Structure formats: C-alpha cells, structure tokens
Amino acid sequence: MTYEERLRVLDLPTLVYRRIRGDLINTYKFIHGVYDLESPFDLIEETRTRGHSLRIKRKTSKSNRRAHFFSVRVIPWWNSLPETVVVSPSINCFKERLDRLMRKHKVYFDFRALDNPHKLEMTVT
C-alpha cells in the first residue's frame, strides 16, 4: 500500500496536517490570551472584513527569510477559517471544530498537497 492508502485505512492525518493543526492551536492561544506572552500577530481592525472578525495582518518583507517562521506561515490558514471556528469558547471546542472542518481538506491524507507552500489552495474539497 502507498503511504496515503495506509493513512486512510488507519484513519491517521499526515505530518503536514498535524503541523498546521499545531500552528493553528497556538495561534488561537495567542489571540485569545491563553499565553501570557505578547502576541506576534496584528489583528485587522476593520469592521468590514471578508472572512471572520479575528483576521491577522500579513507583514510585508523584501526577503524570503521569514517565509517559514511560525508567525508568517500560519496567517493564510488562520485567515481562511470560518467565524464559527475562530471564536470557539474553549481550546477543546476549537480543536473539535478545526478537525471537523479540516478532515475534508486534501492535506489531511495527502502529504504532497502543499508542494509549494507559498501557493496554498485554501478551499476545502
């Protein structure tokens, strides 16, 4: 069996998905004040935003050095989540809603779904 087939049979997500999930959980903790540290994110404070009310501003950079930093790589994923997921009342509720949503995403069983991390397809299939 191929790697993807084994993941489907065992109902296990890819390592890529688990990294994204961990990043999103840490982002939730920063934005909702679970951590006592200063948040590395700047929220968009517009009242008319597409998406949800807790969108994060993407900081521009002339170099590609920061492309794989946590505070940069998580922004497209976080901003693509629906309002019901990001405003979850608890961390466990956030995890359940995130897993239910992302289970339909192709990255859940296919580790090659993100061959080019700068061109993410954020739609759930």
Residue 89, in any domain of the structure:
yes
To 5 degrees, how large is the angle CA 75–CA 17–CA 3? 150
- Residues contacting 75, CB < 8 A, separation 6+: 41, 56, 58
Report the share of the chain in percent with pLDDT over 70: 86
Residue 123, in any domain of the structure:
no
Tokens, residue 27: 């982002």
5-48: pLDDT as tens digits: 898 899 888 888 999 999 999 999 998 888 888 777 877 766 66
Residue 103, in any domain of the structure:
yes
- Expressed as residue numbers, the domain containing 41 is 3-114
Residue 76, in any domain of the structure:
yes
Query: How many domains is the chain partitioned into structurally?
Result: 1
In three state form, how does the secondary structure of 67-100 look? HHCHHHHCHHHHHHCCHHHHCCCCHHHHHHHHHH
Q: Are 74 and 23 in contact (CB under 8 A)?
A: yes
Residue 122, in any domain of the structure:
no
